[in-house]
Structure 1
Amino acid sequence: MLGLRRKYIVSLVVVIFLTWNVLMYFVLISRNPGKTNVESVEQHLMDLQGDLKKQLVDNEQLLQSLRKFRQRALEVKAQKVLKTTTKKPDPPKTKANIDPATVKLPILMIACDRVTVSRSLDLLLKHRKDAERFPIIVSQDCGHQPTADVINKYVKDKSVESHIKVPNDTNSNIHPDLSDIKLPWPQRKFTGYFKISRHYKWALNQIFNVFNYSAVIIVEDDLDISPDFYEYFSATFKILHEDDSLWCVSAWNDNGKNGMVSDDSELLYRTDFFPGLGWMMEGHTWQELAPKWPEAFWDDWMRAPEQRKDRVCIRPEICRTSTFGKKGVSRGLFFEKHLKFIRLNSNFVPFTQKDLSYLKKENYDEDFKKQVYDVPEFTIAEVTSGNKKHLKAVRVTYSTKEQFKSTAKKLGIMDDFKAWGSKNGLQGNSELCI
Structure 2
Amino acid sequence: MRMRRTYFIGFILLVWILIVYLTVKKHQIVVSDKTDQVQNGLQQLETGIAEQFKINKNFISTLHSIIEAKKLDAIKENEVSTKKEFKGTVIPILVIACNRISVNRCLDQLIQYRPNPDQFPIIVSQDCNHPETTEVIERYGSQVLLIKQPDQNEIDIPPKEKKFRGYFKIARHYGWALNQTFFNFNFDVTIVVEDDLDVAPDFFEYFLGTYPLLVKDPSLWCVSAWNDNGKIGLINEKKSELLYRSDFFPGLGWMLTKNLWQELCNKWPRAYWDDWIRQPEQRKDRACIRPEVSRTKTFGKIGVSNGLFFEKHLKYIKLNEAFVPFTKMNLSYLMKDIYDSEFVRTVYQSAVVSYQELKDDRITYDGSVRIIYHTREAYKRTAKLLGLMDDFKSGVPRTGYKGIVTFHYKGRTVYLAPNLNWKGYDPTWS
TM-score in terms of structure 2 length: 0.72
1:241-299 Cα offsets, whole Å, 9 max, x none, are: 00000000000000000111012011000111101000001000000011111111111
Q: Does 1:127 align with 2:101?
A: no
Q: Give the whole-Å Cα distance in 1 for the aligned partners of 2:92 and 2:403.
A: 40
Q: Give the alignment of 1:82-101 within 5 angstroms.
A: 99-101=85-87
Q: Give the whole-Å Cα distance in 2 for the aligned partners of 1:265 and 1:392.
A: 19
1:232 alignment counterpart: 206
Aligned residue type for 2:100: R
Aligned residue type for 1:128: R
Q: Give the whole-Å Cα distance in 2 for the aligned partners of 1:350 and 1:197.
A: 35
1:298 alignment counterpart: 273
**Structure 2 residue aligned with 1:404, among 357, 372, 379?**
379
1:372-395 Cα offsets, whole Å, 9 max, x none, are: 123211122332334239755321
Q: Does 1:116 align with 2:91?
A: no
2:164 alignment counterpart: 190
**Structure 1 residue aligned with 2:174, among 200, 217, 220?**
200
Residues 176 and 202, structure 1, Cα contact 8 Å, conserved in 2: no
Q: Give the whole-Å Cα distance in 2 for the aligned partners of 1:146 and 1:366.
A: 53
Aligned residue type for 1:256: G
Q: Give the whole-Å Cα distance in 1 for the aligned partners of 2:302 and 2:250.
A: 20
Q: Secondary structure at the match of 2:139?
A: helix
Residues 194 and 296, structure 1, Cα contact 8 Å, conserved in 2: yes
Aligned residue type for 1:281: L
Q: Give the whole-Å Cα distance in 1 for the aligned partners of 2:354 and 2:213.
A: 36
1:143 alignment counterpart: 129
Identity within the alignment, %: 55
What 5-or-longer segments of structure 1 have no aligned partner?
1-97, 166-174, 423-427
Aligned residue type for 1:120: C
1:181 alignment counterpart: 155
TM-score in terms of structure 1 length: 0.71
Q: Secondary structure at the match of 1:288?
A: helix
**Structure 1 residue aligned with 2:224, among 250, 264, 272?**
250
Q: Give the whole-Å Cα distance in 2 for the aligned partners of 1:146 and 1:393.
A: 51
Q: Give the whole-Å Cα distance in 1 for the aligned partners of 2:358 and 2:191.
A: 38
Q: Does 1:104 align with 2:90?
A: yes
CA positional deviation for 1:370: 1.7
Aligned residue type for 2:276: W
Q: Give the whole-Å Cα distance in 2 for the aligned partners of 1:218 and 1:389.
A: 45
1:40-75 Cα offsets, whole Å, 9 max, x none, are: xxxxxxxxxxxxxxxxxxxxxxxxxxxxxxxxxxxx
Distance 1:377 1:120, change over 3 A: same
CA positional deviation for 1:100: 2.8
Counting matched residue pairs gives 321
1:348 alignment counterpart: 323
1:201-257 Cα offsets, whole Å, 9 max, x none, are: 000000001000000000010000101000000010001100000000000000000
Aligned residue type for 2:205: E
**Structure 2 residue aligned with 1:223, among 197, 214, 218?**
197
How big is the alpha-carbon RMSD for the aligned residues of Structure 1 and Structure 2? 2.0
Q: Give the whole-Å Cα distance in 2 for the aligned partners of 1:267 and 1:259.
A: 16
Q: Secondary structure at the match of 2:87?
A: coil
Q: Give the whole-Å Cα distance in 1 for the aligned partners of 2:318 and 2:404.
A: 26
Which structure: larger Rg?
Answer: 2
1:211 alignment counterpart: 185
2:143 alignment counterpart: 159
Q: Give the alignment of 1:218-367 within 5 angstroms.
A: 218-263=192-237, 264-367=239-342
Residues 108 and 138, structure 1, Cα contact 8 Å, conserved in 2: yes
Q: Give the alignment of 1:23-34 within 5 angstroms.
A: none
Aligned residue type for 1:373: Y
2:53 alignment counterpart: none
1:54 alignment counterpart: none
Q: Secondary structure at the match of 2:191?
A: strand
Residues 247 and 396, structure 2, Cα contact 8 Å, conserved in 1: no
What 5-or-longer segments of structure 2 have no aligned partner?
1-83, 407-413, 416-430
Q: Give the alignment of 1:35-54 within 5 angstroms.
A: none
Q: Give the whole-Å Cα distance in 1 for the aligned partners of 2:172 and 2:363.
A: 48
Q: Does 1:375 align with 2:359?
A: no
Q: Secondary structure at the match of 2:352?
A: coil
Q: Secondary structure at the match of 2:249?
A: coil
